[in-house]
């Protein structure tokens, strides 16, 4: 509050203000902050206060932003529902019986519920885009290398990337401008000029070639999601974009490829939680049992499962058949995308195959949980930028549209997302915030019946038109 | 690809993870199911395909060999579970670890 007041005073005096002066930002609890504990949603780091700020946190502070708190997440960013947090699950503001997605579910829910105007998330296999889609907000995973990971607690180092979670593409551009750039303390951060993202927003999608891959609209895709995403592609076409069929034959192999690579990298990255230097230490009389007992007490079930899987895939006798095989498959997935980008500027697909599922629904079946990331994972394997933006609702639950760009072509991704927002109003809708009331049923979308109770109508005429074909009666419970 | 409890115990040892009996059973079951699904990768011909460990083209990253500021010792030790005389303190190391 003090920092915010200081900015207010400076503004009143007419002083020059940095780009994010006084802006409250919520930060996913996997990013180091010296003024808040950083727990990664894990008991093993409960109460740990990092001795330094992450690069992105330093950049935010320099830009005038105020870090207002840390957000809940799946433990060590491993999960698709934020149910794997040692501190309890986060719920979806649109329907509290549903998950907000994950692993950046806390950041997504905070922005959707207007607890914070913007937030930081991290995305290893979809952890920004999938919860953004589930909560009806905008989530951008930048190109691998665009944002420094210095001070980001590592999960899978060849895949992790930090990005903005916001209400609009414009806000994402504003935040990315501050986050992006070379940092000598992260050797994987790209030494490339950072474009002016805000200037890239306008210009529309005329003549833009947008690729649609049939492979991304196959089995397992919920009918409502397919309909909303197809409708969104026609909105962009109407604005002047050209829809082009492309082929991504290997994306059905992306899921096993990812879970072998990510768990292998995680099993080595998480070896550092040994009870020696920080975090939890279990009482024991010898070193070996100090390690094993600390890790038994400190890690939750999903983290243990992934450490086991990754250790297995890297172990003698299985390395060739699993880890190395997955790395070769990764080359093929990346090749498919780069090949498609010879013909198109963007690729469009759903963010997730379904609307948000119920809490507890997939906890006992890891494979079903992993399938929630089937459309986001290939983008991490290929290292590309991808955004999820709201594109409709099914039974009152948000649906996300994913736009994927060429390496370091965030400007085109943001431009198309911004253009889509100009033609629709999905991104303006907000969940009811009393925690119990669900949005009333709307059939035609032409009345004001769709507005949350006790809140001013937010839908414009344009939005009502866009909504007409998608509105469905909502089940009341 | 089937996994039995012997493999699960071996992997848990490698990962320095103590498992309960219930976890050993559960992971044996779940890892078998996952690996069975992952065997799908066998369908892909990767004979002449180079593995990708990183997606960005990057040469060696080097810097001048000059010392710079680093974390003060007190800050590094601040959250240590146990410390002594400026060092992290741990239980006895030598000859306590059972042979694999």
Q: Which two tokens stand for residue A181?
A: 């750039």
What pLDDT does residue A446 have? Answer: 31
The distance of B11 to chain A (nearest Cα, Å) reads: 6
Q: Is A235 exposed, middle or buried (0-12, 13-18, 19+ CB in 10 A)?
A: middle
Residue ranges per structural domain of chain B: 1-44
Distance CA A473, CA A150 (A): 47
Q: Identify the residue among B55, B68, B92 best suited for mutation to test binding to A, counting A beta carbons within 10 A and taking the highest.
A: B55
What are the distances in angstroms from CA A118 to CA A24, A28, A121, A416, B51?
7, 11, 10, 20, 37
Distance CA A415, CA A421 (A): 10
Of B15, B34, B76, the CB nearest to A51: B76
What pLDDT does residue A434 have? Answer: 67
A413 and A385 in contact (C-beta within 8 Å)?
yes
Looking at beta carbons, which residues of chain A come within 8 Å of B61? 187
Counting residues of chain A whose pLDDT is more than 70, the rounded percentage is: 91
Yes or no, beta carbons of A327 and B52 under 8 Å apart: yes
The distance of B77 to chain A (nearest Cα, Å) reads: 7
What pLDDT does residue B60 have? Answer: 81
CATH 3.90.1300.10 residue window(s) in chain A: 21-245+348-437
| A:52-71 residues touching chain B, CB 8 A cutoff | 52
ipTM of the complex: 0.92
Active centre residues of A (catalytic): 28, 103, 127
| CB neighbour list of residue A36: distance below 8 Å, 6 or more residues apart | A27, A49, A67, A69, A70
Q: pLDDT of A268-299, one tens digit each? A: 999 999 999 999 999 999 999 999 999 999 99
The model's confidence at residue A33, banded by pLDDT at 50, 70 and 90, is very high
Yes or no, beta carbons of A305 and B40 under 8 Å apart: no
- Please state which CATH number belongs to domain A21-245+348-437: 3.90.1300.10
Q: Is the pLDDT of residue A448 over 80?
A: no
Q: Please state the length of chain A.
A: 477
Counting residues of chain B whose pLDDT is more than 90, the rounded percentage is: 73
Candidates 3.30.950.10, 3.40.50.300, 3.90.320.10, 1.10.20.60; CATH matching B1-44: 1.10.20.60
What pLDDT does residue A16 have? Answer: 84
| Of the listed ranges A378-387, A427-436, B23-32, B60-69, the one predicted with least confidence | A427-436
Looking at beta carbons, which residues of chain B come within 8 Å of A301? 23
Q: pLDDT of A337-357, one tens digit each? A: 999 999 999 999 999 999 999
Looking at beta carbons, which residues of chain B come within 8 Å of A308? 8, 11-12, 15, 17, 27, 31
The model's confidence at residue B56, banded by pLDDT at 50, 70 and 90, is confident
Q: What is the mean pLDDT of residues A448-475?
A: 36
What are the distances in angstroms from CA A189 to CA A140, A142, A157, A176, A201?
17, 11, 12, 14, 24
């Amino acid at each position: 509050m003090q920092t915010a007041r200081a900015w207010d005073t400076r503004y009143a005096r007419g002083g020059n203000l940095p780009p994010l002066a006084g802006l409250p930002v919520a930060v996913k609890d996997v990013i180091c902050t010296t003024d808040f504990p950083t727990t990664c949603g894990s008991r093993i780091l409960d109460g740990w206060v990092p001795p330094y700020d992450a690069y992105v946190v330093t950049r935010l502070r320099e830009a005038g932003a105020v870090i207002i708190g840390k957000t809940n997440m799946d433990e060590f960013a491993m999960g698709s529902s934020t149910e794997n947090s040692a501190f309890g699950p986060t719920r979806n503001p649109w329907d509290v019986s549903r998950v907000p997605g994950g692993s950046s579910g806390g950041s997504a829910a905070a922005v959707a519920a207007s607890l914070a105007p913007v937030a930081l998330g991290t995305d290893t296999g979809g952890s920004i885009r999938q919860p953004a889609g589930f909560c009806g907000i905008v989530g951008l995973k930048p190109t691998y290398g665009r944002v420094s990971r210095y001070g980001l607690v590592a999960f899978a180092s060849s895949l992790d990337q930090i990005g903005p979670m916001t209400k609009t593409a414009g806000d994402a551009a504003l935040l990315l401008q501050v986050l992006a750039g070379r940092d000598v303390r992260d050797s994987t951060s790209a030494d490339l000029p950072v474009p002016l993202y805000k200037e890239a927003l306008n210009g529309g999608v005329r003549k833009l070639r947008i690729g649609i891959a049939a492979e991304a609209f196959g089995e397992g895709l919920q009918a409502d999601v397919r309909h909303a995403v197809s409708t969104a592609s026609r909105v962009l076409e109407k604005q002047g974009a050209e829809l082009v069929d492309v082929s991504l034959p290997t994306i059905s192999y992306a899921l096993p490829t990812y879970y072998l690579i990510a768990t292998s990298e995680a099993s080595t990255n998480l070896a550092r939680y040994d009870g020696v230097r920080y975090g939890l230490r279990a009482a024991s009389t010898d070193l070996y049992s100090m390690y094993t007992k600390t890790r038994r007490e400190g890690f939750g079930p999903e983290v243990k499962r992934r450490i086991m899987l990754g250790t297995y895939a890297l172990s003698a006798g299985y390395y060739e058949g699993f880890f190395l095989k997955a790395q070769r498959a990764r080359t093929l997935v990346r090749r498919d995308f780069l090949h498609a980008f010879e013909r198109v500027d963007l690729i469009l697909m759903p963010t997730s195959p379904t609307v948000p599922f119920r809490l507890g629904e997939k906890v006992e079946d890891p494979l079903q949980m992993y399938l929630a990331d089937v459309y986001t994972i290939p983008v991490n394997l290929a290292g590309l930028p991808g955004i999820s933006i709201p594109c409709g609702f099914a039974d009152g639950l948000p649906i996300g549209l994913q736009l994927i760009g060429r390496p370091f072509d965030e400007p085109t991704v943001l431009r198309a997302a911004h253009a889509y927002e100009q033609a629709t109003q999905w991104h303006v809708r907000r969940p009811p915030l009393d925690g119990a009331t669900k949005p009333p049923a709307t059939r035609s979308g032409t009345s004001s019946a769709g507005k949350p109770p006790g809140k001013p109508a937010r839908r414009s005429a344009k939005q009502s038109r866009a909504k007409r074909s998608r509105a469905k009666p909502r089940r009341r419970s | 690809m089937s996994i039995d409890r012997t493999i699960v115990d071996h992997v848990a040892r490698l990962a320095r993870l103590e498992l309960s009996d219930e976890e050993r059973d559960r992971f044996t079951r779940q890892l078998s199911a996952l690996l069975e699904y992952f065997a799908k990768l066998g369908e892909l011909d990767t004979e002449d395909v180079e593995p990708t460990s990183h997606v960005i083209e990057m040469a060696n990253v080097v810097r001048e060999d000059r010392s710079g500021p680093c974390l003060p010792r007190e800050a590094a030790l601040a959250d240590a579970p146990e410390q002594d005389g400026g060092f992290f303190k741990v239980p006895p190391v030598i000859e306590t670890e059972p042979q694999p």
